[in-house]
Structure 1
Amino acid sequence: MKLIATVSLAVLFLHPALAVKLPRRDTSTVYLHPHAATGSPRGAVYFMTNEPTGNYIIAADVHGDGRLSLNRAVATRGLGAKGVAVPVGPDALFSQGSVKVSASGEILAVVNPGSNTVSAFAINPRYPSALSMIGEPVSSEGEFPISLAVSDDGKRVCVLNGGTVNGVNCFSVDQSKGLVPIPNSLRYLGLNQTTPANGPPGSASNIIFNDAGSQLIASIKGFPPAQGFLAIWDVNQDGSLSSNFTRITPPQPSDLPFSMTIIPGKDALLITDPGTGFDIIDFSAQPQANGTAGGRSSAVAIPGQSATCWSSYSNKTGNFYLIDVGTALVNEVHVDDNLKGTVIHQYSQGQNAAPIDNDVATINGKDFLYILAANATSINVMSLNAPGQAQLVQTLDFAGTLKGAGLAINPNNVQGMSAFAES
């Protein structure tokens, strides 16, 4: 009887018509913390694995001293992809802003460049590493999405596509439906690109809203001798965009505009440029007749720089923090009231660390800089104690934990860094 029962059970599993469907293991969330953290987290930071077999958001708790502990990996239900670059290395998307957060809106948005989609999540403010997908991933209406702009109130998300079909597209955020396309917001750039994109030269870089939320700005790297530029659309009351973009070029010799960070109260941007160092673009003045930014706009060289590509701003120190992946340096930059930019300090992130994306969060009244050190597969945490006095306080390795949890991780694929902190 036992033999008959065993054979019968085997038949049930092997015969297609009779096969019993066992419940599949839910891999939408993979918990990473080996021990329960003490105390409630004060925030979270997020980056994405960007794996072609399946993209995950990695969420780490931020504690009261600014330090991190890994919490969970959450599937975006989309695919990662890597741009075509020689030599091969970190910075898969040639961009900043692949993962973006609105603290007041309590949402997170992430690109899936391998499936041409965008995913949105609600953030639980009490436990910010706990993410809940809103609706379903939606088409970016282009190819190789690489960067996101999220409005301060979290009600609007725009995506920058960098592949063969390149341009921008915008969505309103519905807490039950997810991302809903905004009519008349799909606009094209007309770049001569491939899917995945070739770069870094000639590729799209970053997308942001201006400080007033009245303009949407995309940065595009040049392919020498062609110069890079900013594409600027007006944002209408209903969220739609102007039919055409205004083209502004940075001052010479800059030709590779990369990340864009708002200079508070100045109607101006600080823009990293891996060919020079950084640019300051003054929007309070009319551009020159040839479309070059006018007024107090300037190109500032960083001596010895290799590839200054990513940037963020600290309200507490009043300074900018620019990441050079080639030299593994963080350049602290001060911009004065006359829009003159000066490097005031440099901080090493360790040989071959290849730091890329970064963000700043205020924890217990102090600002901390969180840096994705891609090649080292770690997050570096810097305490921004005062202007010119940043201090490395933690290096959190994540590769071992992720691999131990059965997740694929590749230093040449990981991308993004965005922080959520309690107000």
Structure 2
Amino acid sequence: MLFSFKFCIAGALVGLLATAQLLDASCKSWEAPSGAKAIYILNNGDSNSVAAIPIAHNGTLFGGVTRATGGNGGSTVKATGGFNGPDALGSQSSLTVVDSVSKTDPTDLKLVNKPIAVPGQFPVTVAASSKNSLVCVGTTGAQAGVSCASYTPGGLGSMSPLTVFSLNQTTPPSRPLNGVAHTFFSDDEDRLITTVKGDPTTNNTGFVSVLPVENFYSYPGAHDTRSSLNGTAVLFGAAVIPGTSTFLATDASFGAAILQVNSFTNEVLISSKQTIPGQKATCWAAYSKQRGSVFVTDPLVNRLVELSALDSQVITTIDLTNGDSGLIDLKVSGRYVYALSPGNGTTPAAVTVVDSFVGKQIQHFLVGGLGASKSSQGVAVLE
């Protein structure tokens, strides 16, 4: 798995090799525009790579390069056999960026030091904390859980022992249900939060894990608090609401909910819940600072849905007519939303750029030439 550091870019799955890597973006004379500077996509192929695509002043994408990670991609498998796709990993945040880059070429990436071993067997999600100088990896499959390592400009330290989630899964994981979905830090970066998908077919509701960062330094196999929430079934991606102890979490079975972390007990409660009309599998979420709202996507419906960050109510729905089968990972930078459609093997992989202020697509940027395919997953943005 790849991740990022100052003057760097981030996280990517290295599949069953279970390693973590740090990429550095070296300084060049090219000066990026103000605001967002680049987006990154994990190609997640047999020979894994990251596609780095610059962002112009008007929010549109141009050019792009592909950088090999030296690892392998991976995919969950269908109940009948064969790889899943789109949504090969069944997770959010398989890449992440930490800290910022100024007056540099954000596409010039290189490996920092050597990859390190990650406990667990099938890494799918990565989070980074600048405050704590930590990078944390969520793994799923037969040996699932979360583990963290320190990082410095020289690379990554050793991963902590795995905080284990007993999921009764296989490696690679069977079907997109019953697995680790998204690991991320709370707004104050004092807690690592992980959503774990349930499986309605087996009456398993899944749970949310909350792990105080201080626990990583106190004893091996750090202790977390787990909350199973009535009325949820397949908790998936999340978007932290700045300045609060809440986050919006998607649930592929109905839509989304605002969840709140109790700062004393670390238990998670439902603050509000929203069924999204016409949804089939709402899975990914991204917060918009400019609008104070959250955008969510569905791999089976080609649209963006904007939800209130206060009560998860639907604000707007932006239907797209660009031929994509649906959208997965996304990021918001300023007024622009960048959403990946990996394609389904028939339709090509593309990133749709939407101006959220006017509610319209401004670009449909094909990324197949950069190695993206229906296995691709993960979108990160460098601002």
What interval of TM-score do these two structures reach, taking the shorter chain for normalisation?
A: 0.7 to 0.9
1:199 maps to what in 2?
175
* Deviations 1:82-139 (CA, angstroms, capped at 9, x unpaired): 11135843000000000101134x5xxxxxxxxxxxxxxxxx7511111121111222
1:218 maps to what in 2?
194
Please tell me whether residue 70 in structure 1 is matched to residue 73 in structure 2: no
Please tell me whether residue 345 in structure 1 is matched to residue 341 in structure 2: no
CA contact (8 A) 1:310 1:357 kept: yes
Q: Helix, strand or coil for the counterpart of 1:236? A: helix
1:393 maps to what in 2?
362
| Whole-angstrom distance in 1 between the partners of 2:366 and 2:206 | 36
TM-score normalized with structure 1 length: 0.75
Q: Helix, strand or coil for the counterpart of 1:149? A: strand
2:151 maps to what in 1?
173
User: Alpha carbons of 1:236 and 1:284: their partners in 2 closer, same or farther (altered >3 Å)?
Assistant: closer
1:383 maps to what in 2?
355
2:72 maps to what in 1?
79
| Whole-angstrom distance in 2 between the partners of 1:199 and 1:219 | 17
| Whole-angstrom distance in 1 between the partners of 2:132 and 2:319 | 34
TM-score normalized with structure 2 length: 0.83
Which structure is larger by alpha-carbon Rg, 1 or 2? Answer: 1
2:377 maps to what in 1?
415
> Quick one: percent identity of the two aligned structures?
29
Please tell me whether residue 368 in structure 1 is matched to residue 336 in structure 2: yes
Please tell me whether residue 50 in structure 1 is matched to residue 19 in structure 2: no
| Whole-angstrom distance in 2 between the partners of 1:342 and 1:44 | 31
2:275 maps to what in 1?
301
User: Alpha carbons of 1:301 and 1:285: their partners in 2 closer, same or farther (altered >3 Å)?
Assistant: farther
| Whole-angstrom distance in 2 between the partners of 1:86 and 1:355 | 23
Q: Helix, strand or coil for the counterpart of 1:137? A: strand
1:259-278 correspondence runs (5 A): 259-278=237-256
Amino acid at match of 1:235: V
1:249 maps to what in 2?
228
Amino acid at match of 2:190: S
| Whole-angstrom distance in 2 between the partners of 1:95 and 1:397 | 22
1:355 maps to what in 2?
327
* Deviations 1:247-281 (CA, angstroms, capped at 9, x unpaired): 112341x1100001112223111000010100111
| Whole-angstrom distance in 2 between the partners of 1:142 and 1:304 | 36
| Whole-angstrom distance in 1 between the partners of 2:185 and 2:242 | 13
Match of 1:101 among 84, 97, 102: 97
User: Alpha carbons of 1:358 and 1:230: their partners in 2 closer, same or farther (altered >3 Å)?
Assistant: same
1:330 maps to what in 2?
304
User: Alpha carbons of 1:248 and 1:286: their partners in 2 closer, same or farther (altered >3 Å)?
Assistant: farther
User: Alpha carbons of 1:379 and 1:95: their partners in 2 closer, same or farther (altered >3 Å)?
Assistant: same
User: Alpha carbons of 1:233 and 1:125: their partners in 2 closer, same or farther (altered >3 Å)?
Assistant: farther
Calculate the aligned-residue CA RMSD, in Å.
2.5
Residue 239 of structure 1, CA deviation:
4.9
User: Alpha carbons of 1:207 and 1:40: their partners in 2 closer, same or farther (altered >3 Å)?
Assistant: closer
Residue 301 of structure 1, CA deviation:
0.7
User: Alpha carbons of 1:191 and 1:174: their partners in 2 closer, same or farther (altered >3 Å)?
Assistant: same
Which structure 1 segments of 5+ residues have no match?
1-28, 30-37, 107-123
| Whole-angstrom distance in 2 between the partners of 1:197 and 1:125 | 42
Amino acid at match of 2:114: E
Amino acid at match of 1:306: K
Please tell me whether residue 232 in structure 1 is matched to residue 213 in structure 2: no
Amino acid at match of 1:94: G
CA contact (8 A) 1:166 1:189 kept: yes
Q: Helix, strand or coil for the counterpart of 2:286? A: strand
CA contact (8 A) 1:229 1:249 kept: yes
CA contact (8 A) 1:251 1:298 kept: no
Whose relative contact order is higher, 1 or 2, with alpha carbons under 8 Å and at least 6 apart?
2
1:78-157 correspondence runs (5 A): 78-85=71-78, 88-104=84-100, 126-153=104-131, 155-157=133-135
User: Alpha carbons of 1:154 and 1:398: their partners in 2 closer, same or farther (altered >3 Å)?
Assistant: farther
User: Alpha carbons of 1:328 and 1:239: their partners in 2 closer, same or farther (altered >3 Å)?
Assistant: farther
User: Alpha carbons of 1:312 and 1:83: their partners in 2 closer, same or farther (altered >3 Å)?
Assistant: same
Residue 356 of structure 1, CA deviation:
0.4
Amino acid at match of 1:374: P
| Whole-angstrom distance in 2 between the partners of 1:46 and 1:285 | 33
* Deviations 1:386-414 (CA, angstroms, capped at 9, x unpaired): xxx32211111121x23xxxx5x432x10
* Deviations 1:21-79 (CA, angstroms, capped at 9, x unpaired): xxxxxxxx9xxxxxxxx974551100111112x10000000111111113211111100
User: Alpha carbons of 1:304 and 1:200: their partners in 2 closer, same or farther (altered >3 Å)?
Assistant: same
1:115 maps to what in 2?
none
Please tell me whether residue 187 in structure 1 is matched to residue 163 in structure 2: yes
| Whole-angstrom distance in 1 between the partners of 2:275 and 2:337 | 23
| Whole-angstrom distance in 2 between the partners of 1:420 and 1:370 | 12
User: Alpha carbons of 1:146 and 1:238: their partners in 2 closer, same or farther (altered >3 Å)?
Assistant: closer
Q: Structure 1 segments of 4 or more deviating over 6 A?
A: 285-288
Q: How many residues align?
A: 342
Amino acid at match of 2:292: G
| Whole-angstrom distance in 2 between the partners of 1:45 and 1:240 | 36
